Amino acid sequence: MQPFFIPITMQIELLYFSTPKCSVCHVLYPQLEQLISTNYSQFKLKHIDATQQPQLAAQNQVFTAPVLIIFIDNKEQQRFARHFSIQQVDAYLHRLSSFL
């Protein structure tokens, strides 16, 4: 008899909200993109211009920039807003990926 095993598959998406006038947003996004493509390619990263899609920003309660929201199975699990570093995001994603 084989042991009972339930495979865990989670859909993980990262939504990055920015605005055209946010200089920090333009610096942070390429670093975030590189981090995801290098270390966490199983996660989906989406870049959203909050001025082009204000309804989506309002729906996710985004009132500042930059904002990174991490969703697991369409539920918000973590939010990084305004003052955050790539190292903080990396540490969180590392912990998250250790469960997968």
- Report percent pLDDT > 70 for the chain: 91
pLDDT per residue as tens digits for the range 6-33: 555 679 999 999 999 999 999 999 999 9
Residues with Cβ within 8 Å of 17's Cβ and at least 6 positions away in sequence, in order, are: 48, 49, 50, 57, 60, 62, 65, 66, 67, 68, 69
Burial 43-56 (b: 16+ CB within 10 A, else e): bebeebbbeeeeee
Full set of structural domains in the chain with CATH: 12-98 (3.40.30.10)
pLDDT per residue as tens digits for the range 75-99: 999 999 999 999 999 999 999 998 8
**Reported pTM:** 0.89
